[in-house]
Amino acid sequence: MSIGIAGRLRAAACAGSGPLRLSLRELLQLHGEASGAVLLMLMALLSTAPIAGAGTVLSFGLFALAWAWLRGRDSLQLPEKLAVLRLNETWTRRCLHGLAWTYERAERWLRPRWTTLSHARTRFGWALWIALMALLIFLPLPLGNVLPGTSLMLLSLGWLFRDGLALLLSAATGVAGVGYAVSVGHLAFAAWQHAGAWFGL
């Protein structure tokens, strides 16, 4: 499956010489399926792109996907505002090549193992994890979307390939993201206290 997806994505990236600006809906259509794991991959990847406001908009989509997973649903009807989110030409091509590369490496390295971690009974826990990572993406932290976005990409791949190792890597990356957010918050609070003392507040 992934090799076919990778081929379609690379073909789309190299197609034509005119401007290439794809929306989230069009990226999803290139995959040929709209499962929750595929949608999670796309939203997680786009959330790491330095596009003003993208992380905020996509975090709401991730919250909605987490809620769908909590209810046992493996798909989500994209809200129109999210579906029409469109990348510029540079980031469209980068995302297409990045996705193709990711699926090619996943096909080579990932395989079903430690499948208990991807059992249907673990959906509740992973849904809460998606919501936690979405919260981190929503927070206005410098580069604060990179680690949670990467965690969700690994979660998507681990779920698609039923690879428990990828899911464990997802958890480890997300924990690092939480640690980063706490550290930045602590520094911001310390700076606020220092400024208050300096100005006698």
Phi, psi of 32 (to 5 degrees): 80, 0
| Pure H helices in the chain | 2-14, 24-31, 36-47, 54-70, 80-83, 89-109, 123-138, 146-161, 164-198
DSSP classification of residue 114: S
Q: Could you tell me how far CA 35 lies from the centroid of its own chain? A: 14
Mean pLDDT of the chain: 82
- What pLDDT was estimated at residue 2? 46
pLDDT in tens, 63-89: 989 988 888 776 677 777 777 777 778
The larger pLDDT score, comparing residue 9 to residue 134, is at: 134
Q: Is the dihedral of CA 175, 153, 184, 126 positive or negative?
A: negative
What's the confidence (pLDDT) of residue 1?
Answer: 45
Of the ranges 23-27, 48-52, 183-187, which one carries the lowest mean pLDDT score?
A: 48-52
Res. 95: pLDDT tops 70: yes
Q: pLDDT tens digits for 115-130? A: 888 888 888 899 999 9
**Beta partners for residue 86, in sequence order:** 23
Instruction: Let me know if 41 is exposed, middle or buried by CB neighbors in 10 A (0-12, 13-18, 19+).
Output: buried
Tell me which residue has tokens 């769908």.
68
Q: Which pLDDT score, from 0 to 100, does residue 52 have?
A: 66
| Token representation of residue 3 | 């090799």
Among residues of the chain, what percentage have pLDDT more than 70? Answer: 86
pLDDT value at residue 136: 93
Report the pLDDT value the prediction gives residue 120, as an integer from 0 to 100.
80
Average pLDDT in the 4-12 region? 77
What pTM did the predictor assign?
A: 0.85
Per-residue pLDDT tens for 158-197?
A: 998 999 999 999 999 999 999 998 888 778 766 666 665 5
- Nearest 5°: the CA angle 87, 177, 108 is 65
